[in-house]
Amino acid sequence: MPDPISNRFKMSQERLDAIKEELRYLETVREKEVAEQIKEARSFGDLTENSEYDEAKTEQGKLYSKIAELKVLIENAEIVDNIETDLPKDAVTLGSVVRVRDLEDGFEDKFEIVGSQEANPREGRISDDSPLFQALKGHRKGDTVTVEAPAGIFKYEIVSVNGD
């Protein structure tokens, strides 16, 4: 039997609320807009050569697919704040904001550790599934960690955890 925890999507309450709001919008406003597009396209006559109708039906299919995707996310959401209660408060955990210094070039970067549904590396939000988090997890300010990533092996010093 599959582990039900592995099919969960870790996210903050804010992310879950945003998904629910998007779903509400799609099921009300957007669904009515697409239905109106189909109705209007049908009024143009022969549906076999009606590109407006085909486009509207394609849009409807995409909409229903997105609605189904959001429902799965909501149904399988696991709200996380700082679930690593067995780690010290000053250790890197899910929800931490971590500043690191690359020991090779001295470049500093700041990351927020988030669930996979919220990850956006361009915004400094890295997934708790990432190699960087796996290397940082449980470490504290001043610790040096080695990260084995697809792009190579990196060594970082933890400059701060949660602004300390």
Q: Which of 79, 105, 130 corresponds to the end of one domain? A: 79
Q: What is the CATH number of the domain that holds 149?
A: 3.10.50.30
Q: Which of 26, 51, 79 corresponds to the end of one domain? A: 79
* pLDDT confidence of residue 11: 77
Residue stretches of the chain with pLDDT short of 50: 1-4
Q: Which of 79, 107, 132 corresponds to the end of one domain? A: 79
Give the integer Cα–Cα distance in Å for 111 and 56. Answer: 41
Could you tell me which of 63, 65, 96 has the C-alpha nearest to residue 163?
96
Residue 25 lies in a domain: yes
Same domain, 9 and 70: yes
| Domain of 43, in residue numbers | 4-79
Same domain, 61 and 111: no
The number of domains in the chain is: 2
Residue 87 lies in a domain: no
Supply the pTM of this predicted model: 0.60
Residue 154 lies in a domain: yes
* pLDDT confidence of residue 27: 95
What are the residues whose beta carbons fall under 8 Å from the beta carbon of 22, sequence distance 6 or more?
A: 70
Look up residue 121 and give its two tokens.
């590396």
Residue 86 lies in a domain: no
Q: What is the CATH number of the domain that holds 8?
A: 1.10.287.180
24 residue type, one letter:
R
C-alpha dist (Å) from residue 14 to 69, 79, 126 = 18, 9, 16
